Structure 1
Amino acid sequence: MELPSVGLGTMEIDDPDAVATALDVGYRHLDTARIYDNEAVVGEGLAARSTGDGGVAGERIDRDDVTVATKLWIDDLAADAVAPAARESADRLGVDAIDLLYVHRPRGDYDPEATLSALDRLVDAGPVRNVGVSNFEIPDLDRAIDVLGRPPAAHQTELHPLFYRPALLDHAREHGYPVVAYSPLAGGRVREVDAVVEVADAHGTTPEAVAIAWATAKEPVVAIPKASSEEHLRANLAAADLELTDAEVAAIDAVEREEELFPE
């Protein structure tokens, strides 16, 4: 898929106005999940702008210009559960079709052949436009490619200066699909990473901006930081335009990694 460099991660966002504001300032990729329990919130924010209510000068945003992504949780992945769960998500989001539907984790009721085949049938039927995967390891990715007969539309994984796995990016480059980086700000901990702070000081910007720029500088990565205030929404969106030198990227690459924020 062609995805914007920066999208909106919506975990714990419970106000549709935050989603509407994100659309106002230029976001065109909204990411949620059934387990976040806020698909309706995301859908309400989207509807407010795609119907032309409010917004910047009351401008209407074309629904087809926005990628709406959600994820099926591990208890929705049995072959006979996929279609009902997907349609429930679409209803909560208020969309005719989910642009990108992920397997949230390859756990629980996940069976590669049954789950992915059921998702693929939804693409043929119409309520889902693209099938993605999330939190997969390389063997999981290879199996998904075998079952689907093509790469996933995207692979979403935790990626930030304290948790970075180059092999996953190499796999994405080899097979030609984007990597969607969640938690690119490491839950705010990028402010504690000396290499990130030093680069931020050199550019007169924030560690958060540097973390996003570092992630999106790595083809084929796009980032989905969470924000709710207009100030932070604008800052995160602009961060993709920050150009880091190769030496600055290498310095952050060399950070001694810590444990991931969202382990299995």
Structure 2
Amino acid sequence: MDHLQTQGINLPRLGLGTYRMQGTVCREAVESALALGYRHIDTAEMYANEDAIGAALASANVPRGELHITTKVWPENLAPDTIRRSFDNSMKKLKLDVADLYLIHWPARGMNLPAALDAMMKLKEEGRIRAIGVANFTVALLKQAVEDVGAPIACNQIEYHVMLDQSKVRGYMAQKGIPLVAYCPLAQGRAASDETLAAIGHKHGATAAQVALKWLLDQKDVAAIPKASRQESQQANLHALQLQLDDEDRQVIAALPKDKRFVSPAFAPDWD
């Protein structure tokens, strides 16, 4: 498994996303992933599954130093004292003393971003967080965090897949050495049925989903966290790492329309 080095942490480039997985389904999915060799597990307080993940981590025979656990604070909890309470609750549910990566899940309109980041940096200074980052941040918000506040942003987690162009924000992140963690890397399952990707996969003895995932992971400073509750899907995503796309494949994928954003809630920032 390749890793990305960012702000003092080693981030496995392929992780397990857990959104909309809860209870026994979530616990068993995490246990399965860890048994297969996954070491990067992504969650958030909003997912209401940190307790299930904590149970899976507690039962797994994996040294803590090998694991990378990301969780996130919900936008309504971005006041400094609320961030600390949210973090404490997350750690209690995850049964952890230290989070590897703690993210602002979504920017909130009217938020005091400097104060929020300062609260997160204090937790980092206390040794309770190894690195901090953001999710769903635009270039303008990243500039505020990096240039105005001077926060050590370890990643920006955003929707990114073969159907969505993210070159604008990726360009800025590249300038600042900030990795991208792609959520919905399979376009919420739509990549699996794309005929163009399926044709490329057929050439390599792979699936369309594996092609879409490897296209992301072939890019510099990009990690991906596909959600997969079934062991077969988790294994297939791992096997995507062995796929070798050629220049022709990449040209064909580059020509696909890239204007499909599938996650855009009412409170989302102005992506443009």
Q: What is the TM-score of this pair, normalised by structure 1? A: 0.92
Assess, with a 3 A threshold, how the Cα gap between structure 1 residues 79 and 150 changes in structure 2: closer, same or farther.
closer
User: What SS class does the counterpart of residue 3 from structure 1 fall into?
Assistant: strand
Match of 1:26 in 2: 37
Match of 1:48 in 2: 59
In 2, Cα distance between the equivalents of 1:197 and 1:101? 36
User: What SS class does the counterpart of residue 162 from structure 1 fall into?
Assistant: coil
What stretches of structure 1 move > 4 A for 4+ residues in a row? none
In 2, Cα distance between the equivalents of 1:147 and 1:233? 40
The answer on 1:13 being equivalent to 2:24 is no
Aligned ranges for residues 1-264 of structure 1 at < 5 Å?
1=6, 2-14=10-22, 15=25, 16-49=27-60, 60-108=61-109, 110-263=111-264, 264=268
In 1, Cα distance between the equivalents of 2:130 and 2:73? 15
User: How far did 1:194 drift?
Assistant: 3.0
User: How far did 1:192 drift?
Assistant: 3.5
User: How far did 1:109 drift?
Assistant: 6.2
Amino acid at match of 1:153: A
User: What SS class does the counterpart of residue 242 from structure 2 fall into?
Assistant: coil
Match of 1:56 in 2: none
Match of 2:3 in 1: none
In 2, Cα distance between the equivalents of 1:240 and 1:170? 25
Instruction: Percent identity, please.
Output: 35
Q: What is the TM-score of this pair, normalised by structure 2? A: 0.89
Please say if residues 45 and 74 of structure 2, whose CA atoms lie closer than 8 Å, have aligned partners that are also in contact.
Answer: yes
User: How far did 1:127 drift?
Assistant: 1.9
Please say if residues 151 and 176 of structure 1, whose CA atoms lie closer than 8 Å, have aligned partners that are also in contact.
Answer: no
Please say if residues 121 and 151 of structure 2, whose CA atoms lie closer than 8 Å, have aligned partners that are also in contact.
Answer: no
Question: CA deviation digits over 1:20-50, x for unaligned, max 9?
Answer: 110010101000111111011111111111x
Please say if residues 210 and 237 of structure 2, whose CA atoms lie closer than 8 Å, have aligned partners that are also in contact.
Answer: yes
Question: CA deviation digits over 1:125-155, x for unaligned, max 9?
Answer: 1222211100000111111112552541111
In 1, Cα distance between the equivalents of 2:251 and 2:35? 35
Q: Which runs of 5+ in 2 are unaligned?
A: 1-5
Amino acid at match of 2:11: L
